[in-house]
Amino acid sequence: MLLVALGGGAYALMNRTACGEHPALRVVAAPEIGPALVRIARQYTKDGGCAAISVRTKSSADTADQLGLRKDVADVWVPDASVWTDLALAQGADRTLLGQGTSIAHSPVIMAVTQETATKLALHPGEPSWTLLIPTSATKRRLPRAFTTLPTPSRYASGLAALNVLNAVVADRPDMLKIVQGVTANLKRAIVPSEEALFGLVDQPAGGADPVIVASEQAVWRHNDARPDHRAIGLYPKEGAIALDYPYVPMTKDPVRRRAAEEFLRTVTSPEGRTLLQAVGFRDPGGKAGSAMDERHGVRTAPPRDIPAPDTRTTLRALLSMRLLLADTRALLLLDISGSMAERIPGMTQTRMQATAGFAEAGIRSLPKGSDVGLWVFSTNLDGDKDYKEVVPVGPLRERGPQVVRELRRLPGSTRGDTGLYDSVLAAFRSASKHQVKDMLSSVIVFTDGRNDDPSGISRARLVSTLRREFKPAQPVTITLIGYGDGIDARELRQIAQVTNGVAMVASTFDQAQQLFLQVIANRVCVDRGRCASQG
C-alpha cells in the first residue's frame, strides 16, 4: 500500500509539474491526417490535458529533408510512413532525437478507377490484380485505352509502395519482372506531382480513356467525400496491399514535453481517438475500419490481405533510387583531350576527338529541358600545373547548352599532353559535390581513351579512398566512366566508379562508345544493377 501510495503521489506530482508549466507541444503531421489530429487535440484539452497542442501539416518528404539538416521542426512527427524517418536518419538527422515511432493508423495502398472503368472491368471474371498496372496484352484486352498513373514515388510513400508491391507480385515471373523494370526505368511518363493532379484524372478523364491510379485507401475516401459527383472506385488487388503505417514519433529531449507527447499519444490511441481517425477513412493499426468506410466512399470495410513491406534497408534503398531516377539531371562532362585523342579511328575519317565531340553534342541535345550541364576537359598541365580545366560551368541547359556545343566543336584542335585522369576526376567530383542543387541528380560523366599516366598526380589508392570518404549516399554525385581503345585499364575505371555507385563501361568500337555515352546521358541512373555491372 505504501509503494502504491508513493507511486501515485509521484505520478500526481509529475503531472502537476507538467500542468503547472503548461508545455507547448508542437506536432507536424502528414496533410491527410493533420485535421483528425486537430480534432483529437481538442478532445485531449476537453478531457483535461495540460499541454497546449498545436498541429500543423507538412509533406512527409519535406519534413524528412528538414530533419536531415538538423532543423528544429517539431516535438512530435506523424509522417504517412516509417520510410521517411529512415530517410531523415540517412540524411543526417539526430539519432538521439528521432526514435522509434508507434503506428496510430493504417491505410492500404490500392488502385482506383472511374465508375465507367469499374463497369468495364466487371465484365471480365476474376478479382483485380496489381498486374493491371503493367502494359501487357492481357491488360490491353480488358482495357484497351488504360493508362497507369501514380504519385511520384520519391515524394509519396503510396507511389513507392506500389512499386514495391509490383516487384513482390512478379518476383517469381521473369517475363513480368523485365516489364516491371522497364516500367520503372521509364517512370516519369507515369507519375504526377500531387494527389490533386492524380484525382484530376478521375474527375475529368480524356474521352474514352481508362485511367488507373494508385493511391492510399484514405485518399480515395477523402476524394469521394469531397467530390461525390466524381467518385473514384477503389480496386482491391487479389494479391493484397502494403499499408501506410503513420508512425507517431516523439522528437523532443525536454522531459516535460516528452511526457506531454506520451500523454497525447494515449489520447490518440484511445477508443475515442481511433474513432475520430476511422471517421475520416483511416483504419486502426490492426486494419479495422469504422462505419464510414463504405461503398458510398468507393471503398470497403473488409481490409485487403496484408503484404508486408520490405525490410527497412530495402525500402530506403528503393526510395533513394527513386529520388535519383526521377531527379532532373545536373551533368558535368569531363572529356579527355590528351594527344592520343588526335588519332584517327580505324575505318573512319574522323579522329577520336572529332567523333567524341560529335556524340557529346548529340547527348547534350537529348537532355530533358530541366537539366543542367557543364563541360570540363583534361590531359596534363592543362591549366598551369593542373591536369583539368573548366570550360563551361555547370548551369541551366537553356543557357549553357549552346555554350557547351560551341566549345565541343573547338576541341579537335586542342588535343595535347598525357592522361591526367585521377586528379581530374577528383577535382570534378569535388566541384559537383560543392555545387549540388536540391532535387537534382549530380553526375560526372567521363570519357577517356587511356589510363592515368601522370606520375606527379595522386595515386589510384588515394583517389579511391578520398572518394569513399567524401561520397554522401543521401546527396550522391555519381561518376560514370566510358573508356575506348587499347590503352584503357578497365579495372582502374571500375574501382573509381564503384565507390560512388557509378558504372564503368569499356567500348571495343567507337560506335559502341557512342551508344554507351548516349545511354548514360539518357538514363542517368542504372535501375538494373546486375545489368550495369556486366557492362563494366
Model pLDDT for residues 477-512, shown as the tens digit of each residue = 999 999 998 889 999 999 999 999 888 999 988 888
Residue 164 within a domain: yes
Indicate whether 365 and 494 sit together in one domain.
Answer: yes
pLDDT of 131: 84
Q: Which of 267, 293, 319 is the last residue of a domain?
A: 293
Q: What is the CATH number of the domain that holds 266?
A: 3.40.190.10
To which H or E segment does residue 62 belong? Answer: helix 60-68
Q: Which of 211, 243, 275 is the last residue of a domain?
A: 243
Residue 178 within a domain: yes
For the chain, which residues score pLDDT lower than 50?
A: 1-18, 525-536
Q: Is 529 helix (H, G, I), strand (E, B) or coil?
A: helix
Indicate whether 285 and 171 sit together in one domain.
Answer: no
Indicate whether 394 and 521 sit together in one domain.
Answer: yes
Q: Please, are residues 477 and 442 in contact by the beta-carbon 8 Å criterion?
A: yes
Residue given cell 536531415 in the structure block: 68
Indicate whether 215 and 162 sit together in one domain.
Answer: yes
Indicate whether 453 and 494 sit together in one domain.
Answer: yes
Longest dimension (CA), the chain: 100
Residue 7 within a domain: no
pLDDT of 3: 36
Indicate whether 101 and 113 sit together in one domain.
Answer: no
Q: Please, are residues 78 and 247 in contact by the beta-carbon 8 Å criterion?
A: yes
Indicate whether 38 and 143 sit together in one domain.
Answer: no
For residue 118, count other CB atoms closer than 10 A to its CB. Answer: 18
Q: Which of 243, 264, 280 is the last residue of a domain?
A: 243
Indicate whether 508 and 364 sit together in one domain.
Answer: yes
Indicate whether 138 and 23 sit together in one domain.
Answer: no
Residue 300 within a domain: no
Residue 436 within a domain: yes
Q: How many domains does the chain have?
A: 3
Residue 123 within a domain: yes
Indicate whether 288 and 357 sit together in one domain.
Answer: no
- Alpha-carbon gap, residue 277 to 285, rounded angstroms: 11
With a CB cutoff of 8 Å and minimum separation 6, the contacts of 391 are 375, 376, 377, 404, 407
Residue 319 within a domain: no
Indicate whether 403 and 463 sit together in one domain.
Answer: yes
pLDDT of 173: 67
pLDDT of 92: 86
pLDDT per residue as tens digits for the range 181-199: 666 656 667 788 888 999 9
Query: 223 is in which domain, residue-wise?
Result: 107-243
Indicate whether 95 and 150 sit together in one domain.
Answer: no
Phi-psi sector, 61: left (phi>0), alpha (psi -120 to 50), beta? alpha
Residue 316 within a domain: no
Task: Determine the straight-line distance between the first and last CA of the chain, rounded to whole angstroms.
Answer: 74
Nearest-CA neighbor of 183 among 201, 204, 169, 200? 169
pLDDT of 172: 64
